[in-house]
Each structure stands twice: as C-alpha cells, then as structure tokens.
Amino acid sequence: MNTETILGEVNKIFRDELDDDSVRIFYETVAKDVDGWDSLSQIHLIVSIEKYFKIRFTASEIQRFKNVGEMCESILTKVNA
C-alpha cells in the first residue's frame, strides 16, 4: 500500500460520506475545494476513515494536516506500523 492507494480509498470514503460520486480528491485538496465538506461532514469522514483503515488519529494530528495528502501519509504510516 502506498499514498496513492490510500488516496484512492479515501476518495471512495469521501464519495460515500458526501453522497456524491463526482467528488475527486487529490493530494493538495483542502476542505474548501470540496462541496459539502463542512464541520459535521468532517466528523463522519474521520469516523469512516478511522474505521476503514483501523487506525486512530489524535486531535492534534487532525489539526496539523494541511491537506488530504498529509492525512493519507499519516494513514500510511499508521497502517504500516
């Protein structure tokens, strides 16, 4: 598994949680780039991501992510740990 693979899986989660099959996320994507990615949907995104990858983020980790790519790198680190 690599960051690109993780990004693809995360994209599926975004589509499912935002109920929008047209959503495309990239490494540089941030919340303002995605329609419907608001504070409440972020909660559901994080819940789904943590469950899907069987990982746990900390609050400080979530706050430090500058974009989706950084989150995917963190996911990769955790799943390989």
Partner 1 sequence: MHSGLAEGQVFISEFKVTENVYNSFIAAFNDKNILHTDDSYAQSKGFKSKVMQGNILGGFLSYFIGEILPVENVIIQSQTIKYKNPFYLEEVLKFEAQVTHIFESINSLEFKYIFNDQSNKKIAMGTILIGII
Name the site residues for partner 1 (rule: CB under 8 A). 40, 42-44, 46-47, 50-51, 56-59, 61-62
For the chain, report the end-to-end CA distance as a whole number of angstroms: 12
Query: Which H helix or E strand runs over 50?
Result: helix 39-53
Q: How far apart are CA 55 and CA 61, in angstroms?
A: 12
Residue 73's CB is within 10 A of a number of other CB atoms, namely: 16
**CB of residue 47 to partner 1, shortest distance in Å:** 6
Closer CB to partner 1, 2 or 43, in the complex = 43
**CB of residue 64 to partner 1, shortest distance in Å:** 11
**CB of residue 10 to partner 1, shortest distance in Å:** 15
